[in-house]
Structure 1
C-alpha cells in the first residue's frame, strides 16, 4: 500500500515536471502578444492622425489577436486618458501632450490547472494584463 501511494505521488510530480514548462511557455507567449498589441494600439491611437482609440481600432485588434489563437469575446479593453477625458471618441480626440492609456486583459483559460498536481490552486478570475500610456501627438 505504501508503495502504491509513493508511485501515485511520484507520477503526479513527474507529470507536473514534464508538462508545466510547456504551459508556462504558452503563458509567456500570450503575455508577450498582448503587450505587443497594446504597444501597437497606443502607437496608432496616439499618433497625429488619431488621438483616440475607438471601437473600430479595438475590433481590428481583436481580429489580429484572434489570428494568434485568442478568443475575441474574452478580450477586455479599457481605454482612458490621463486627464479623465473620453479617449475613445473620434469626434473629440485628445490634444497633444495628453496621456492616452490602454489596458488589455485576457483570462488564463485553465493554463494553471496543471499546478493542482502539486497542490497549488489557480486564482479564480485571474487575468493576463498588458497595457501602457503614450502621449497624444494629435494637433487640431
Structure 2
C-alpha cells in the first residue's frame, strides 16, 4: 500500500514537471500576442488619420487574434482617453495631444489547472491575462 501511494505521488509530480512548462509557455505566448495587438491598435488608432479606436477596428483585432487560437467572444476591449472623452467615436476623433488608452483582457481558460497536481490552486475563472497601453493622438482636424 505504501509503495502504491509513493508511486501515485511520484506519477503526479512527474506529470506536472513534464507538462507545466508547456502550459506556462502558452500563457507567455498569449500575453505577448495580446500586448502586440494592443500596441498595433494604439499605433493605428492614434495615427494622424484616425484619432480613435472604433468597433470596426476592434472587430478586425478579434479576427486577427482568433487566427492565433483566441476565442473572439471572450476577448474584452476597454477604450478610453486621458481627458475622459469617448475614444471610440469616428465622428469625434481625439485631437493631437490627447492620450488614447486601450486594455485587452482574456481569461486563463483553465490553462493552469495542471498545477492542482502539486497542490497549487489555479487562478479563478474570473481572472485573466491583460495587455494595456496608451498613445497620444496625432490627429489634426
Q: TM-score by structure 1 length?
A: 0.98
**SS of alignment partner, residue 87 of structure 1:** coil
**Deviation at 1:135?**
0.3
The 5 Å alignment of 1:50-65 reads 50-65=50-65
Moved over 3 A (4+): none
Deviation at 1:83, TM superposition (A): 0.8
Structure 2: stretches of 5+ with no match in the other structure: none
- Residue in 2 that maps onto 1:138: 139
**1:69: Cα distance to partner?**
0.7
State the 1:136 CA deviation: 0.3
- Corresponding residue for 1:77? 77
How many pairs are equivalent?
140
Name the counterpart of 1:103. Answer: 103
For 1:39-54, list aligned pairs within 5 A.
Answer: 39-54=39-54
Where do residues 81-96 of structure 1 align in structure 2 (5 Å cutoff)? Answer: 81-96=81-96
Shift of 1:65: 0.4
1:5 is aligned to 2:5: yes
Distance (whole Å) between structure 2 residues aligned to residue 130 and residue 26 of structure 1: 15
1:89 Cα shift? 0.6
Higher mean displacement: 121-130 or 98-107: 121-130
CA deviations on 1:8-31 (whole Å, 9 max, x unpaired) are 111000000000011111111100
Indicate the residue corresponding to 2:28 in structure 1.
28
The Cα offsets for residues 37-75 of structure 1, whole Å up to 9 and x where unpaired, read as 000000000000000000000000000000111110000
Secondary structure of 1:13's match?
A: helix
1:86-138 deviation per Cα after TM superposition (whole angstroms, max 9, x unaligned): 00011111110000000000011111000000111112111110010000000
